[in-house]
Chain A
């Protein structure tokens, strides 16, 4: 039990009559990197939204770090130790890199309500440190991120997640809009997380990337988990046949 960081039992989500997620039984062990794959509308993002508290589940249980949790919002999930990189960037374009990294959790020289004095140097130093450990290269962190390329912005977003990652990192298609070099950089950050032993759920359409980065692959199809495969026991063709429904059948619910 103690080496399981996240477990869902019978997790379900309905939007009106649509069963977006049904009876998802999912287990993530400490230090494990798991990919969640599936066709569009298979329930991947819905699954993540329940776990991160962005939406409220219709049924089922979520256990995080040994306790049943019921996160009312993404903030609560984050405070519990779940850091998420969302598909849409949650960055403030007009702020510089340190301000974005510490958005909502600023460091202070002294506290005085809303007029608390920011410790800009400490935030900048820790930003440089975080960028170094995640191997993200941002030429000038004092520029507003509006001026940066899409890849650099995504790297800032991921560096923020990696820097504060305490217990679990979730990335929802982190490289979907990136070029080749930038994708490689994001993948390096993910490898860094693995080295640090931080468990991760990666949602991706890119099977090459999935086989490169994770230990286990979980396939979603039509709102259900249809397969959970060790990456050494499967291959691309196998995964694709689960995704498309050639294998696994419609009512298979393995975890």
Chain B
């Protein structure tokens, strides 16, 4: 039947060459290639100076790799990377989240107030924000409070966007300003410090050791371990569950999603709430790592997170991208920063180059799309 040999048609849009039988290569491969290329470039630049980017050249220290640099790189990338996982979902949905950095700041302040220890060196906690009732709480209390803060911020963002139909840029810009204000107001701009030991252990403990029953150890790198776990979790969620399918569908064609009976507005709220919760996780790990919370925490994190996603191939027009891409984008981001430091490039240049790389990544993405459309 049929009689129309469409299976032999080898033309794409505009009738140009495109082989429809082949599975399109995942764009993540390009990001991986870029990551390797950038790493190799920094290795070469370091070798010219007689040093190494990744490898350990010193005889008095054991190990093949420069463990210190790798640890720093992973730590740098993990906190912002966790935020980027949420931002990625929002961008795939067709939105944008400018508030995540400020949500980190506000959550950090609030969460730390519930994580304080009553006695510091035998004296009452000099930085106490709340009364005695909030001292020495079990570690689950600050975690719950923190997640609640993130979910609330996401709920407000999502509800504004879904039900008042204002652009995500404006809604989350409002949250960005307000949450930063809340962070300063919470303790009149004073830092909140001296957490309980169990709270400090969240970031500084050895989660990998616990999870693998002591098979592996990686003390002090809990943010990296949690980042990896969350990345895997959300990669699976985005591919295998209806949550992910709907996020891609809405970002791809919102009108079609609506017509297909997807509760678009409710789903938007949910995605922004997930993003808020991930920002809260980042705030908890950041304060636990630093043992203090300051109102200025997380400034510019939202832009770093967006940059990681964009470098990782997440399309700002929605519908395209993945957690793996964002993780690779985050690693590129971190390699570039560490790489510049390793070749002793001035911090001012670093920021300037960072901007160029973000714009370059978007231009590349545009070219890639056009190239695909034309075959």
Measured CB to CB, the residues of A under 8 A from B are 74-75, 78-79, 86, 89-95, 99, 103-106, 108, 114-118, 120, 135-140, 142-144, 146-152, 155, 181-182, 184-185, 188
Contact = CB atoms under 8 A, between A and B. Distances in A.
Contacts of B237: 115
B242 A92 contact: no
B271 to A, nearest CB: 9
B259 A92 contact: no
A181 B15 CA distance: 13
B6, B21, B22 — most chain A CB neighbours (10 Å): B6
B261 interface: yes
B121 interface: no
B320 interface: yes
A118 B259 contact: no
Tell me if A's interface is mostly helix, strand, loop or mixed.
loop
Given A140-B23, A181-B4, A182-B4, 10 more contacts: A92-B248, A92-B256, A93-B319, A103-B257, A114-B246, A146-B372, A148-B12, A149-B12, A182-B6, A185-B6
A205 B320 CA distance: 37
Interface in B15-29: 18, 20-24
12 contacts: A78-B261, A92-B248, A94-B248, A95-B252, A103-B256, A103-B262, A104-B257, A114-B242, A118-B240, A149-B12, A152-B20, A185-B2
Contacts of B256: 89-92, 103
B95 interface: no
Contacts of A103: 249, 256-257, 260, 262
A147 B7 contact: no
A188 B2 contact: yes
Interface string B194-213: 00000000000000000000
B61 interface: no
Nearest to A181: B4
Contact of A94 (B7, B261, B319): B319
B61 to A, nearest CB: 46
B232 to A, nearest CB: 15
Contacts of B259: 74-75, 86, 90
Contacts of B11: 149
Given A93-B252, A104-B257, A143-B24, A99 B245 contact: yes
Contacts of A188: 1-4
A135 B248 CA distance: 28
Given A104-B257, A104-B262, A144-B24, A181 B6 contact: yes
A205 B369 CA distance: 34
Given A94-B252, A95-B252, A106 B245 contact: yes
B290 interface: no
Contacts of B246: 114
Given A184-B4, A188-B2, A91 B253 contact: yes
B257 A92 contact: yes
Nearest to A115: B241
A136 B5 CA distance: 10
A181 B372 CA distance: 24
B4, B13, B243 — most chain A CB neighbours (10 Å): B4
A184 B6 CA distance: 10
A101 B6 CA distance: 19
B241 A150 contact: no
Given A78-B261, A94-B319, A118 B245 contact: yes
A28 to B, nearest CB: 23
A139 B320 contact: no
B267 interface: yes
Nearest to B372: A147
B267 A114 contact: yes
A120 B236 CA distance: 13
B13 A150 contact: yes
Interface string B253-270: 101110111100001001
A150 B6 CA distance: 12
